């Protein structure tokens, strides 16, 4: 537990039991009804998220799961969908054998050491030491998937005036991170508007994304792209949507 988030090596410092205890502790401290959860592209993230969610639901929390995402998408979803809090499993730029969590409360307000993170740490440590005074709820919470990305993209696009913006050619290297699918969808897959199926060329490009740096990969964290790698369609023309 650091000043503003949680970081640790997997599994020595952060593992399934710790993730579960953090879920119990977060729910005990905050008392939320609905919490949105997501995770980054690290290989350990889905399993840690699974046990975090189990801790939350055992404490009676209704969990909304947005799956693989960037931290900013958790911040967005927490406020946009009026959740009581949000947690993203991520270790940001740290090496691939690390993982962690960022926690927010309603309105996407960060939970730091002086606003609750130290309390959550204490509760989690007590739980791991065998103190079950923070008992699980008699009524287990449920898990509901949420397709949030269209709403997230709508917000992003409000920062651009596509009527006055001249066509641009932009080179993007997403570094195999979680932002890759968002960038790809904006530039290639979204078509002329929300929900419109991409043209044939766009569909082919989306299908080929697994071979590019826009494809998330937990193996390439905190490292440069391989020399000689050919990114998918290095330039895309940004035009009014």
Is there a catalytic annotation at residue 135?
no
Long-range contacts of 224-233 (CB under 8 A, 24+ apart): 225/173, 225/175, 225/176, 231/172, 231/173, 232/184, 232/205, 232/208, 233/188, 233/205
Nearest to 174 by CA among 108, 117, 220: 220
Q: Choosing from 45, 92, 135, 210, which is the catalytic residue?
A: 92
Task: Decide: 84 and 93 in contact? Cβ < 8 Å.
Answer: no
Separation CA 215–CA 148 (nearest Å): 19
Residues 41 and 68: beta-carbon distance below 8 Å:
yes
Catalytic positions, written as ranges: 92
């Amino acid at each position: 537990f650091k000043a503003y988030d949680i970081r640790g090596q997997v599994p020595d410092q952060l593992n399934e039991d710790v993730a579960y205890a953090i879920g119990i502790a977060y729910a005990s401290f905050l008392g939320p009804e609905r919490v949105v959860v997501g995770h980054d592209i690290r290989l350990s993230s889905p399993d840690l998220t699974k046990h975090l969610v189990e801790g939350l639901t055992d404490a009676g929390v209704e969990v909304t799961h947005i799956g693989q995402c960037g931290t900013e998408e958790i911040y967005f979803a927490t406020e946009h969908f009026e959740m009581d809090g949000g947690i993203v499993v991520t270790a940001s730029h740290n090496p691939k054998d690390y993982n962690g969590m960022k926690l927010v409360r309603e309105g996407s307000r960060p939970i730091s050491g002086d606003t609750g993170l130290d309390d959550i740490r204490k509760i989690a440590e007590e739980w791991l030491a065998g103190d079950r005074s923070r008992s699980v709820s008699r009524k287990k919470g449920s898990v509901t998937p949420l397709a949030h990305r269209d709403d997230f993209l709508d917000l992003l696009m409000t920062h651009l005036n596509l009527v006055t913006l001249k066509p641009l050619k932009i080179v993007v290297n997403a570094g195999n991170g979680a932002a890759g699918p968002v960038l790809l969808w904006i530039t290639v897959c979204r078509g002329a508007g929300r929900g419109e199926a991409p043209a044939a060329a766009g569909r082919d490009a989306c299908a080929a994304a697994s071979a590019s740096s826009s494809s998330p990969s937990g193996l390439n964290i905190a490292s440069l792209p391989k020399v000689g790698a050919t990114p998918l369609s290095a330039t895309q023309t940004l035009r009014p949507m």
